[in-house]
Amino acid sequence: MSEYILSQIRPSDRRASKQMDALLQQEGIERDKNLDYSVGLFDEDYNLAATGSCFSNTLRCLAVSSDHQGEGLLNQVLSHLMEYQYSRGNTSLFLYTKCGTAKFFGDLGFYEIARVEGKVVFMENRRTGFADYLKKLQTETSQSSAAKAVSLLANPRTGAVVMNANPFTLGHRWLVEYAASKVDLLHVFIVSEDVSLVPLSVREQLVREGTADLGNLVYHQTGPYMISNATFPSYFLKDKDTVIRSHARLDIQVFQKIAGALNISQRFVGEEPFSQVTGIYNQVMKEELEAAGISCTIIPRREDADGPISASGVRELLRDGNWDDLQKKVPESTFRYFSSEKAAPVLQKIREANEVRHY
């Protein structure tokens, strides 16, 4: 058996990066744009035989050359990536793979969370990870004053909204207020992935403060189980439409299990007039949820004189220091935060961003 050298593939290493792209392409994979660490196994002539990468707490872009199948190379790459993840404090690991390779990763200690048949499987390295998350949601609910207030109802109507709130605007407030008026108990899920210009701790604070007067809300973080468009792995799916629809279907598979644990019968979603991607996502979500017996209501965006209120528009106002217009588009609590000294690091990050309309 040949001897192989394990080496990090840095973006500056053009030869290795080119080999990585070629190997991934050979296996029907495109290099994911979200990678923060990549490695390769090279033979004695420095030809790439196997590769794998990480992004945050996920493992991505795993591939072995067809010339080196059956040599256990992917096991070596995966073991190294897991050790690397552990070394930087990521002990809960996730990966996405084709349905045909899910069993291979299952044999290496990964457990299935959800799948879209023929497209993608979402897996984690903890056997009870998702079950523990569902228990956490149930505990948060049972301990909330809002849930206790409706516990005496025979069949309480329970709904959910999921939002990034980057940052929390009057548009988000309108969505939560409308949804809360239609149910007895509303679960508000805040996207946990910290890939936004406004960090999770601030986003959650602003959501809570901006809806504090509504008495029937329970707040949760999505954890790693509801994934955003920014980090959904599209590298082994053939086209953009397939990526969007597969992401939506996978997300809904996960949400259905959450809905079952919390007795959620309705989901409320804000209309997306600016993004074709989110528009398709919402359409698929509505079809999938209603097929599963969960009502899905798409609510028109709140508008003002400038048109629909959007978080990206608010980030532009923050970047430009347009405080007069900002005050018209966000709750008082959001405006108060961004006017305070605490917001200085976040404002600096927004001002330095190349593009504030991204996640």
At residue 359, the pLDDT reads: 43
Last residue of a domain, one of 80, 111, 127: 127
Same domain, 71 and 143: no
Q: Is the pTM of this model over 0.85?
A: yes
Q: Give the CATH number, domain containing residue 296.
A: 3.40.50.620
Whether residue 281 lies inside any domain: the answer is yes
Same domain, 101 and 10: no
Whether residue 59 lies inside any domain: the answer is yes
At residue 179, the pLDDT reads: 98
CA dist., res. 206 & res. 335, Å (int): 10
Contact 73, 49 (CB under 8 A): yes
Same domain, 167 and 205: yes
Same domain, 71 and 185: no
Same domain, 220 and 122: no
At residue 171, the pLDDT reads: 95
CA dist., res. 351 & res. 345, Å (int): 10
Q: Which residue is listed with tokens 């990034």? A: 164
Same domain, 187 and 292: yes
Q: What domain range includes position 107?
A: 93-127
CA dist., res. 295 & res. 286, Å (int): 8
Same domain, 216 and 165: yes
Same domain, 15 and 115: no
Spell out the per-residue pLDDT of the chain, length 359, in tens: 568 999 999 999 999 999 999 999 888 888 888 899 999 999 988 999 999 999 888 898 898 998 888 888 999 999 999 999 999 999 999 998 888 889 989 998 999 999 988 888 899 999 999 999 999 999 999 999 999 989 888 889 999 999 999 999 999 999 999 999 999 999 999 998 877 889 999 999 999 999 999 999 999 999 988 866 545 666 555 677 777 788 888 889 999 999 999 999 999 999 877 777 778 888 989 999 999 999 999 999 899 988 989 999 999 999 999 999 999 999 999 999 999 999 999 999 999 987 776 54
Same domain, 77 and 107: no
Largest CA distance in the chain: 72
Q: Give the CATH number, domain containing residue 9.
A: 3.40.630.30
Q: Which residue is listed with tokens 């946990």? A: 192
Contact 48, 40 (CB under 8 A): yes
Same domain, 185 and 279: yes
